[in-house]
Amino acid sequence: MKNPKDITAYVLCGGKSVRMQAEKGLVLYKGKTFIRWIIEAIMPITPNIILVTSNGDYSLVGLPMIEDTYADKGPVGGIYTALNHSKTTRNLILSCDIPKITTELLRTVTDESWETEAPVTFLSDGKNDYPLIGVYSKSALKIFADAISADKLKLCSLVNMISHQKISINSDQKSLVQNINSKAELQFLNLLDL
């Protein structure tokens, strides 16, 4: 594996959290905030972790925070902000609502052997794609800038239009990449862990 300084991790904490009715990354799961679970999964891969958020409440985790360059542009805007800020070629981009993500899965998506000319590599279970668990090259910056200019803000559509690589996960790993978007989903997650 290359030097961990060769990759920067950005966690996008910008969503509206309408269905959760609370800041998703700060929701508690098994006694820890979602963001804390995610950070702990990232730490063995890289110490370079930055939160993309304008919510000062995230300062409690003690990591650098940057605000979206363009407000209200969703994940496309968040990824643009991350790539524009980054000093590394490779960037691990994650959403803040995946508390079950593991270091092992993140190692899978950041594995050097996947490196191709494709500017985007992300996880897929064959039916669903997970572009918010992916590695984005700094070279994709212009693609995201152009998408924002054209107001093309659907991330799945955008990554499927550009050169990309999907890393398959198996059925046992599907629960690890699940987005927890609502109180009902959180309740179900807690019930599964009983």
What are 65-100's pLDDT values in tens digits?
Answer: 999 999 999 999 999 999 999 999 999 999 999 999
Provide the token pair at 155: 């991330």
pLDDT for res 155 = 97
Q: Which residue has the tokens 């093309």?
A: 152
pLDDT at 186: 83
| Chain segment 109-141, per-residue pLDDT in tens | 998 766 667 899 999 999 999 999 999 999 999
Contact 63, 39 (CB under 8 A): yes
Mean pLDDT value across residues 132-157: 97
Of residues 32 and 185, more confidence is placed in: 32
Give the pLDDT of residue 124: 96
Give me the sheet containing 90-95, strands edge to edge: 65-66, 49-52, 7-12, 90-95, 129-137, 120-124, 164-168
Write down the pLDDT at residue 20. 57
pLDDT at 3: 61
Residue indicated by tokens 């309408």? 18
Q: Which residue has the higher pLDDT, 10 or 22?
A: 10
Mean pLDDT of the chain: 91
From 79, 46, 78, select the one nearest 63 (Cα to Cα).
Answer: 46
pLDDT at 1: 45
